[in-house]
């Protein structure tokens, strides 16, 4: 059994360093995007919260009327908006104390 050392091509090493630079740049851009999104949510949260509550209430009433008319009815739009509202609350509330 012969054991030989792996040969590294200098071109391959350069590609790995390039990939690391690209990954770091993507990481920085995603971090910046998250901070901008966070700033937007925090600045618009008082208005956005009330708009979403009115929207969810209206959709709930619409769903209730459709249940009364058509029997069992599952409204995906209502649940999608409700999950979005709960997710925003879970994102914003823990960070309000900072």
Q: What is the pLDDT of residues 14-67, one digit of tens each?
A: 556 778 888 899 999 999 998 998 889 989 999 999 999 999 999 999 988 888
Dig out the tokens for 62 from the structure: 């619409």
Give the SS3 label for residue 96.
Answer: coil
Measured CA to CA, the distance from residue 17 to residue 9 in angstroms comes to 13
Q: Would you say the pTM of this structure is higher than 0.75?
A: no
Relative orientation angle of helices 76-92 and 10-70, to the nearest 10 degrees: 130
Distance CA 18, CA 61 (A): 55
Structure tokens at 60: 């709930």
């Amino acid at each position: 059994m012969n054991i030989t050392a792996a040969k590294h091509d200098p071109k391959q090493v350069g590609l790995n360093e390039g990939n690391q630079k690209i990954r770091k740049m993507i990481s920085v851009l995603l971090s910046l995007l998250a901070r901008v999104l966070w700033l937007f949510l925090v600045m618009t949260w008082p208005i956005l919260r009330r708009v979403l509550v009115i929207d969810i209430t209206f959709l709930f009433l619409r769903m209730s009327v459709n249940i009364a008319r058509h029997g069992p009815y599952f409204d995906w739009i209502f649940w999608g908006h409700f999950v979005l509202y709960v997710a925003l609350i879970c994102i914003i509330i823990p960070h309000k104390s900072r």
